[in-house]
A = this chain, B = another copy of it.
Amino acid sequence: MNEHTTTSTGTDAGAKHAPHATRDKDATRQRLLDAAEQVFAEKGYHGTVVDDIIRVSDSSKGGFYFHFPNKQAIFLALVDKLVPRLAAAVDRAIAAESDPVAQLDAALRTVLETFGRHRQLSKILLIEAVGLGHGFDEKLMRTRGRFAAMIQDYLDRAVAAGAIAPQDTTLVSWAWFGAINELVVRWLALGQPERLEDVLPGLRAMLLQSVGIAVSALPPERRADHDA
């Protein structure tokens, strides 16, 4: 019934006299989001019933509908929280490097680590959000497009920098997204490879080569072990 370790707002003790106990309100909302994340990842969107979220969050029907207008809304709120987070992390990683190859390394590592660390979010973003129909589809494609755009942006800058030859970066960016996405999904669904990060060396090589950047001739099996 209570704050269940309010992740986000539990620490700033200053806000003692918030009007109408804002803390608890936020806490409830957060508990609902946490529960939703867990249940959606576990049972999928349609497999999840609002009561599941209520139960796991230890709140109530009324509480749920006070914070979210409907089931779809909490799902989208979840997605909307995840995407910018990941996007920002990738942006930061890229910005920290200057060499295109190093940038790709950094970005890839960020993506894989993020997904690797948050199975639940990953499932929601990459699996559960697919095939939902209605307004979901566009939402999802916009999300995917956003990732593709980030990749394309990176590629375009690489082209501009002369690091790679001019090419259809739009197409390539979607293809890259698809490739990365599939490996994550495989990991989520099949548990292969054991550690998601293990796909990094092979994936890196493949992507670089795909845009014309020669990769050292080392056999990937070798690299996989001591690369990073």
What separation, in Å, do the CA atoms of A16 and B198 have in the docked complex? 61
What separation, in Å, do the CA atoms of A134 and B42 have in the docked complex? 10
Asked whether A43 is an interface residue with its Cβ less than 8 Å from the other chain, the reply is yes
- A219 near B133 (CB under 8 angstroms)? no
- B44 near A131 (CB under 8 angstroms)? yes
Contacts of A165 in B (CB 8 A): 217, 219
Asked whether A179 is an interface residue with its Cβ less than 8 Å from the other chain, the reply is yes
Asked whether A132 is an interface residue with its Cβ less than 8 Å from the other chain, the reply is yes
Smallest Cβ distance from A24 to chain B, in angstroms?
A: 16
- A141 near B190 (CB under 8 angstroms)? yes
Residue-wise, chain A 128-163 has the 8 Å CB interface mask toward B (1 for contact) of: 111111100110110011000000000000000000
What separation, in Å, do the CA atoms of A199 and B131 have in the docked complex? 23
Which segment of A77-85, A86-94, A96-104, A181-189 sits at the interface?
A: A181-189
- A219 near B183 (CB under 8 angstroms)? no
A180 to chain B: closest residue by CB: B178
What separation, in Å, do the CA atoms of A205 and B174 have in the docked complex? 14
Asked whether A7 is an interface residue with its Cβ less than 8 Å from the other chain, the reply is no
Residue-wise, chain A 34-55 has the 8 Å CB interface mask toward B (1 for contact) of: 0000000001111100000000
Q: Could you tell me which A residues sit within 8 Å of B by CB distance?
A: 43-47, 127-134, 137-138, 140-141, 144-145, 165-172, 174-183, 185-186, 189-190, 199, 202-203, 205-207, 209-212, 217, 219-221, 223-225, 227-228
Can you list 24 pairs linking A and B with CB atoms under 8 Å apart?
A47-B133, A47-B134, A140-B189, A166-B219, A166-B227, A167-B202, A167-B205, A168-B202, A168-B220, A168-B221, A168-B223, A169-B227, A171-B183, A171-B224, A171-B228, A172-B202, A175-B180, A175-B182, A175-B183, A176-B179, A178-B181, A178-B183, A182-B182, A206-B211
Q: A46-B46, A47-B134, A167-B220 are in contact. List 16 more A-B contacts (CB 8 A).
A: A43-B133, A47-B133, A127-B130, A127-B131, A128-B131, A137-B189, A141-B186, A168-B221, A169-B227, A171-B199, A171-B206, A171-B224, A172-B206, A178-B178, A179-B182, A209-B210
